[in-house]
Amino acid sequence: GEDVEQSLFLSVREGDSSVINCTYTDSSSTYLYWYKQEPGAGLQLLTYIFSNMDMKQDQRLTVLLNKKDKHLSLRIADTQTGDSAIYFCAESILGFGNEKLTFGTGTRLTIIP
Amino acid sequence: DAGVIQSPRHEVTEMGQEVTLRCKPISGHDYLFWYRQTMMRGLELLIYFNNNVPIDDSGMPEDRFSAKMPNASFSTLKIQPSEPRDSAVYFCASKGTQETQYFGPGTRLLVL
């Protein structure tokens, strides 16, 4: 079955790195996504990784995938106040753009000045 | 493109009343999704359409909920009668083939 889990809260000092973790259970997941939700807004796609990759870097964002442990992480370097949001990981099966995504519970990232 | 448009942005109603939420997907997208977000249950997929046809409505909570997509540019989610436990943020999302989903800003529903 599909189940995606995340810790609910993370607090980080401004300028430090944030690491948000996610575990999933379905080994047939082909794409894994990170979405960002700012207060009062919808979810916005940040980045994604294909399951045959170990790492993907995009400016301040680094995604690490450990397929053996079914563990996904998002690292945000030099965390800024604008990074305060809820971060969701999501998995899809059977290919990019697959109709259904399974979302985690979301991690609320708080930046400490 | 204006993105996915949802209306109203906020809705306050009394228990027993009918509630209709509206969504306009991004032009050219052939998939449309309705989600519900609550603190207790997180983000849940209610139903999705492909080319205006409902494909999977297994997430619809009960018969009080119904969704329609009469054409490629408009969808509604209706709750009748509404109950306090329906209070949540309802998101609409759309996508094209081989794309990821783009979310609307959501409708915040409060049922008193």
Interface A–B counts its CB contacts (< 8 A) at 47
Confirm if A98 and A91 have CB atoms less than 8 A apart: no
Which 8-state DSSP code applies to residue B86?
A: G
pLDDT at B40: 83
Of A42, A44, A97, the CB nearest to B99: A97
pLDDT band at A2 (very low <50, low <70, confident <90, very high): low
Put simply, the answer to whether A45 touches B91 (Cβ < 8 Å) is: no
Put simply, the answer to whether B101 touches A101 (Cβ < 8 Å) is: yes
pLDDT of A94 higher than 80: no
Count other Cβ atoms within 10 Å, centred on residue B41.
10
**Interface subset of B 61-100, CB within 8 angstroms of A:** 91, 93, 95-100
Mean pLDDT in residue range A100-107: 88
Shortest alpha-carbon distance between residue A42 and chain B (Å): 4
Put simply, the answer to whether A97 touches B91 (Cβ < 8 Å) is: no
Nearest CA in chain A to B43: A103
Shortest alpha-carbon distance between residue B82 and chain A (Å): 23
Mean pLDDT in residue range A20-49: 89
- Residue B4 tokens read as 């996915």
Residue of A36, A100, A105 to mutate when probing chain B, most B C-beta within 10 A: A100
* pLDDT tens digits, one per residue of A44-80: 999 999 888 899 999 999 999 999 999 999 999 999 9
pLDDT of A19 higher than 90: yes
Q: Name the percent of chain B lying above pLDDT 90.
A: 81
Which residue positions in chain B have pLDDT lower than 70?
1
pLDDT at A1: 46
pLDDT at B98: 74
**Measured between alpha carbons, how far is residue B85 from residues B6, B14, B79 in Å?**
21, 12, 12
Average pLDDT, chain A: 89
Put simply, the answer to whether B103 touches A42 (Cβ < 8 Å) is: yes
Alpha-carbon gap, residue B51 to B27, rounded angstroms: 12
Mean pLDDT in residue range A90-100: 71
Of B95, B96, B100, the CB nearest to A48: B100
B63 Cβ contact partners less than 8 Å away, ≥ 6 residues apart: none
DSSP structure string for chain A: ---EEE-SEEEEETTS-EEEEEEE--TTEEEEEEEEE-TTS-EEEEEEEETT-SEEEETTEEEEEETTTTEEEEEESS--GGG-EEEEEEEEESSTT-S-EEE---EEEEEE-
For the stretch B13-40, what's the b/e string if a residue is b when 16 or more beta carbons lie within 10 angstroms of its beta carbon?
Answer: beeeeebebbbbbbeebebbbbbbbeee
